[in-house]
Structure 1
Amino acid sequence: MIKKLVLTGAAGRLGSYLREPLTQMAEELVSTDITDDIGALYEGETYVKADLSDLAAMTEVLQGADMVVHFGAIGDEAPFDDILQSNIIGAYNVWEAAHRNGVRRVVYASSVHAVGMHRIADNIGLDAPHRPDSYYGLSKCFAEDLGRMYWDKRGVESVHMRIFSCAQVVSPRSLSTWLSYDDLIRLVRAAVSAQTVGCSIVYGISNNDRAPVHNLGAGHIGYKPQDNAEQFAEKILAEAAPADPTDLAQMCIGGPFATIDLGESGVAQLTIIDDSKKT
């Protein structure tokens, strides 16, 4: 069992599903975000309000930690200055604070949007070059390269989880891109518990029949997704409009992020049900 684990972005929808499982992997879980309160705490969990853009604050939060699970960031496309502070400077602060405190590993919530302009038909693997579809995706590319540099130069391990559609299945696209909450938990647990990872990238996606990518080369993490969106296919496809092969939002793995203007919300083009786990 890990002595001390830090979770950033604990107030977010995905963070809400990770808090309880992470308390089972550590003697102490320190959850952090910029909100004043995240509700009732689990046994072994404490909460610290801290801003990712404040290096001193992050250095203090990570003091004595063995690992950090970094989910804190703007989770959508936004104006570049906003992305810069939260996602880019925030990522640097986490890695630098990890280095200063001797933290062994950063488990990072990267995103499909780091490679979002690749076509679905290409069935890319983990060796596909960065091809971001937004400032948001660009920030994920930065953090992946940052993690590689901190591993090469300073020995800080990292696992970069390119998370796909971790939400309820409501569209034809999500039949291929779904990451169930249970598989999210399995992925994070694997990334935390793997013996050695160096600097690794893995796609955060369930075992979907229609998956647009393959995870070959990530077996050493030990991630074994068990859920499959095909169970929803009959209902979703019966209600869906006809496919449009000229629409980049349907042809690229980044979905609507492939067609939005830079700085404009991509999440606004999706139907995401806020089913955050309540404490």
Structure 2
Amino acid sequence: MKLVLTGAAGSLGSHLRAPLAAMCDALVSTDIAPDIGTLYPGETYVQADLAQMDQIAPLLEGADMVVHFGAIVDEKPFEELLGPNFVGSYNIWEAGYQAGVKRVVYASSIHAVGMYPKSECIGIDVPHRPDTFYGLAKCFTEDLGRMYWEKRQMESVHLRILSCADVANTRALGSWLSYDDMIQLVTRAIDTPSVGFAIIYGVSNNDRTPVDNAKAAFLGYRPKDNAEQFAEKLLAEAPPVDVTDPGQMCHGGPFASVDLGQSGMAQLRLLNDKTKS
């Protein structure tokens, strides 16, 4: 099996390289970065721009599946997101279709539905409700994936990741996706025999998880980690909740309260947990 991993230099992609290389005959990792360090057995690296079809299409020749994690991972002005996050998704699906790729596993996001209040436990089939241009790109790509399945029978699994980073705030008590659970989630999206078009939330087995994956149970994802181990310390240090702040009351967290085009990640103060190869 040949896999292609986009976003291989990113914080999530860097954690996927080793397990993906171990489960396939050939892994082609790609990113816009000049290099990603030492390669794993069976892995090759190609620098490429997602927005350039002539750079992406050759990488997908002979590929069985694409794990598409490449993107700008923050809210930005629409013009900055258009190439990597919108056109880049089209290039992956169209080039994949032309190359006979069976399936795309896509890093979608809670921000596709980020304006729902956290008091609503939302399932995988709620209508889109993006909180930012970044979330809008996720809506676009989910709809793109559905269309390519229904019109061209090209499968895709869209992983609506809530937050895959250190547990640094009370929101993460419900939204945390551990790296081990992320790897399991991607693995299940690859090795499930048939998926059609599927959406599943990327979240660990947290006591306070605000989303419902019941309708995606056929993928076999069974998360093991739980953020409740961090609850006592974080809750003791947390300031009072501002019920007028969408950033505290909506699924999208800070992305729900920032102005369009303004960074949501800057408010999260996350650590850089990218692996070193």
Equivalences for 1:18-57 in 2 at 5 Å?
Answer: 18-57=16-55
Q: C-alpha distance in 2, partners of 1:197/1:234?
A: 39
Show the counterpart of 1:248: 246
> Partners of 1:129 and 1:43 in 2: how far apart?
42
What's the counterpart of residue 129 of structure 1? 127
What does 1:223-242 correspond to in 2, within 5 Å?
Answer: 223-242=221-240
Task: Quote the residue 1:5 is aligned against.
Answer: 3
Q: What secondary structure is seen at the aligned counterpart in 2 of 1:166?
A: coil
How far did residue 216 of structure 1 move? 1.1
SS of 1:231's partner is: helix
Task: Report the alpha carbon displacement of residue 83 of structure 1 after superposing the two structures with TM.
Answer: 0.8
Structure 2 letter corresponding to 1:56? D
Whole-Å separation in 2 of the counterparts to 1:17 and 1:275: 9
Whether 1:109 and 2:107 are equivalent positions in the alignment is yes
Identity %, equivalent residues: 62
Q: Deviations over 1:136-192 (max 9, x none)?
A: 000000000000000011111000000011000010101010000011000000001
**More displaced stretch, 26-35 vs 238-247:** 238-247
Aligned partners of 2:218, 2:55: CA distance in 1, in Å?
Answer: 33
Query: 1: distance between equivalents of 2:74 and 2:220?
Result: 29
Look up the match of 2:77.
Answer: 79
| Aligned Cα root-mean-square deviation (Å) | 0.6
Asked if 1:260 is matched to 2:255, the reply is no
Q: Which residue of 2 aligns with 1:206?
A: 204
Q: Distance in 1 between matches of 2:7 and 2:125?
A: 28
Measure the CA separation in 1 of the matches of 2:181 and 2:106.
16
What is the letter of the counterpart of residue 122 of structure 1?
E
- Distance in 2, matches of 1:149 and 1:247, equals 36
Instruction: Give the SS at the match of 2:80.
Output: helix
Give 1:148's aligned amino acid: R
Question: Residue 271 of structure 1 corresponds to which residue in structure 2?
Answer: 269
Matches within 5 A, 1:153-168: 153-168=151-166
Gap runs ≥5 in structure 1: none
Partner of 2:68: 70
Measured in 1, the distance between the counterparts of 2:74 and 2:216 equals 26
The count of residues paired between Structure 1 and Structure 2 equals 277
Q: Distance in 2 between matches of 1:96 and 1:58?
A: 10
Gaps of 5+ in 2: none
Task: State the SS of the aligned residue for 1:26.
Answer: coil
CA deviation digits over 1:18-62, x for unaligned, max 9? 000001110000000011110000111000111100112111000
Give the drift of 1:271.
Answer: 1.5
- How far residue 243 of structure 1 moved from its aligned partner, in angstroms, is 1.5
The amino acid of 2:184's aligned partner reads R
Counterpart Cα distance in 2 of 1:214 and 1:68? 26
Per-residue CA deviation, residues 180-233 of structure 1 (Å, 9 max, x unaligned), is 001100000000111100000000000110011111100111111000000000
Moved over 2 A (4+): none
| 1:120 equivalent in structure 2 | 118
Residues in 1 aligned to 2:190 and 2:64: alpha-carbon distance in whole angstroms: 10
TM-score, normalising length: structure 1:
0.98
Partners of 1:276 and 1:42 lie apart in 2 by 16
SS of the equivalent of 2:12 reads: helix
Inter-partner Cα distance in structure 1 for 2:96 and 2:169: 39
1:145 aligns with 2:143: yes
Instruction: Describe the SS at the equivalent of 1:152.
Output: helix
Paired with 2:109 and 2:48, the residues of 1 have a C-alpha distance of: 23
**What is the DSSP-based 3-state SS (H/G/I as helix, E as strand, rest coil) of the residue aligned with 2:66?**
strand
